[in-house]
Amino acid sequence: MTRVLYPGSFDPITKGHMNIVDQAINLFDSVVIAVMHNPAKKENMFTVEERVNLIKELYKDHPNVEVISSMDATVDVAINNNCNAIIRGLRSLTDYDYEVQMNQFNKEISNNRVSTICLFADKEYQFVSSSMVKEIFSLNKDISRYVDESVIKKMQEKKNF
Ligand code: ADP
C-alpha cells in the first residue's frame, strides 16, 4: 500500500492544488490531504475547519482521499498516518529551494523514513496560488479558472458576512 501525505495551508484549495491531488490519486493507493495549522499565521481567510470541510466536499466521491488537519510537524503527521512520503507541488525556484531544505530536514529527523516527492501542476495551473486567488477576488475579478465553484461560493459568503 502506497500512502502519501499532501500537506499545505489550502487557504483556500485551488485548481493548482487539485491538479496535484489528481496526479497523486493516479500514482498512489491513498492520499491524505493535511490542512496544516500554523498558529503564528493569523491572516487566513478560512478557519482550519472550513478549509477541511471544503476539501472533504470536493473529494467526497474518492474513497482513497482522506482529509485531516494538524498543528504538528509535517514529518510527524506523515509517520502517525502511516505515510512514507510527502507530496509537494513545485511552482518556482523559490518553492524548489524551500523544498530541498525541508526534504533534507524531514529525512534527518525521521531517520530516512519520510521522503518528499515533488509534482508539477499542468501548465494552466502552474502559477496559481491561494494568495493570488484571494487578491484577484478582492478586486471583484472572475476567479473561476483558478478555484472550484464551491470555493467561490464560500468566498462570496465570507465577503458578504
Ligand atoms: P500556497 O498557500 O502557497 O498556495 P499551500 O501551502 O496551500 O501553498 O500549498 C501546499 C502545496 O501545494 C505546496 O507544496 C505548494 O507548492 C503546492 N502548490 C500550491 N499551488 C500549486 C500549483 N499551482 N502548482 C503546483 N503546486 C502547487
Domains and CATH numbers, the chain: 3-160 (3.40.50.620)
Task: Let me know if 17 is a catalytic residue.
Answer: yes
Q: What is the pLDDT of residue 137?
A: 97
Q: Mean pLDDT in the chain?
A: 95
Distance 140 CA to ligand 1 centre (A): 23
Assessment of whether the complete model's pTM goes beyond 0.85: yes
The pick from 9, 10, 11, 17 for probing ligand 1's pocket by mutation, whose C-beta has the most ligand atoms within 8 angstroms, reads 17
> Over 90: is that where the pLDDT of 43 sits?
no
> Over 80: is that where the pLDDT of 92 sits?
yes
Q: How far is the C-alpha of 142 from the C-alpha of 35, rounded, in Å?
A: 25
Give the count of alpha carbons within 13 A of 80, CB side only.
11
CA dihedral 36, 41, 43, 46 (to 10 degrees): 20
Average pLDDT over residues 112-129: 94
Would the CB of 89 count as within 6 Å of ligand 1? yes
Q: Which of 56, 91, 113, 134 is catalytic?
A: 91
